[in-house]
Amino acid sequence: MTWSAPLSGPVDAIVDIPGSKSLTNRYFVLAALGSEPVTIHHPLVARDTELMADALESLGAIINRGAEAWTIVPGPLRGGNVECGLAGTVMRFIPPLATFAMEPVRLDGDPAARVRPMDAIVDGLRGLGVQVDAAELNGSPVLPMTVHGTGSVAGGSLDIDASASSQFVSALLLAAPLMTHGLDLRHVGETLPSQPHIAMTVAVLREAGIDVVEQPVDAPNRWIVSPNIPQLSDVTIEPDLSNAGAFLAAAMVSGGRVSIPRWPSQTTQPGDAYREIFTEMGATVTLDDGLLTVVGPGAIRPYDADMKDVGELVPSVAAVAAFADGTSYLRNIGQLRGHETDRLAALTTELAKIGVTAYEDGDDLVIEGGVPTKAAVIESYEDHRMATFGAILGLRIEGIEVVNIETTSKTLPEFVAMWMQAFGGAHVEA
């Protein structure tokens, strides 16, 4: 099934974005590891967060789902079966928690999840003395896997290579407070992508009363977590700033205006970088009393920057760069090859369909911008960011169809309705 993306002139919309997936799932985990119920206000309700909630319930938590707030009631951790879908946070965050169960925990997911890297988690848990049985792909561990919990983990010192995903670091940090001796975790790989997500994890741990020493001067990429029971107060989730990116990109490619309410003045979310990115690409960006407004430029400037820490923003930025007056260089984003799909390959393939030359140069993505006009069927690859990438292109190019737009339900179930309300047109199935 394909979706006909609406064509638009300069847009003018105010779009209210639901809560952050990354924050929602981190708070869910820490709430489930605590000793008292925690109410999470304005959580994101989407496939990834539903999968996390279901996983925590399988491990013994009780979750009361309300219209505006969910309450997490911790329970003794137990064994069971966990469905990960295609959620990286579930497949990476749950295995360390499973070590505290007295019975085995089996994890599996969508077919595409079975090719995503799991080596740092599996190797890390084995390094902590935990038995983990995992399938292998090209000699590396992948889903499905079984964690044989014994109810406790000693912790101590651990070295991992998290070059493929910062989620490996976050997963172990979230479980660290329950380890008998805490955890002294060190990343020993050459690169560490998406460090803002690690900063987010550290901030949430500290909010729960956990002592974290982050990156001591004498040892960069090292985190020392002291043992303690997480104690969260009730939480209100920020809007998902990464999900806001597609709507802000609409202002860029159409030369229009989009405003997002409740934009935080201070945040650990990588999506806050859109303010700087789109300013450099020619937009006028203002933040006034929580209302972020992006006014697109008459001519889009190309973008050249290291995006290692904000890789999840690349598809939206790439869509804007397709219309830029010059060549953009999105650098140091090799980790995107291990996301829901190989996003570097997907972006080069789909940009070619609309007449834009794009290619990989090592771990960089090079996009030769212009005025693409070719109608095309844009594949989503079961990747929510690729689906919204296609929607952005459709605002400027007549005849864009997006395959399986419903994959946006991973993080934003109401995407189609929100997009149509903001930018017009009709939802057409073909």
Catalytic annotation present for 350: no
Is residue 275 classed as helix, strand or coil in its secondary structure?
helix
Best CA proximity match to 164, nearest among 184, 141, 180, 134: 141
CB 332, CB 368: distance < 8 Å: no
**Contact call for residues 330 and 363 (beta carbons, < 8 A):** no
Kindly state the DSSP code that residue 322 receives in the 8-state scheme: T
Q: Which of 312, 340, 350, 401 is catalytic?
A: 312
Tokens of 280: 């450099």
Task: State residue 66 phi and psi, 5-degree precision.
Answer: -105, 175
Give the separation between CA 360 and CA 294, rounded to whole angstroms: 29
What residues have CB less than 8 Å from 410, skipping those under 6 apart?
A: 46, 47, 48, 85, 86, 87, 340, 384
Tell me how far CA of residue 75 lies from CA of 40, 62, 383, in angstroms.
Answer: 17, 7, 33
Pairing of strands 291-295, 62-65: unpaired
Q: 144 preceded by cis ω (within 30°)?
A: yes
Report d(CA 428, CA 365) in Å as an integer: 32
Dump the DSSP string for 108-132: E--GGGGGS--HHHHHHHHHTT-EE
Which token pair is 374? Answer: 């070719």
Q: Identify the CA nearest to 142 among candidates 115, 181, 112.
A: 115
* Buried/exposed 17-53: b ≥16 CB within 10 Å, e otherwise: bbbbbbbbbbbbbbbbbbeeebbbebbbbbbbbbbbb
- Asked if 387 contacts 380 with a C-beta cutoff of 8 angstroms, the reply is yes
Coil, helix or strand for 416?
helix
Does residue 41 contact residue 66 with C-beta atoms inside 8 Å? no
Q: What is the DSSP letter of 408?
A: G
Q: Phi/psi of residue 169, each to 5°?
A: -65, -50
User: What positions carry a catalytic annotation?
Assistant: 312
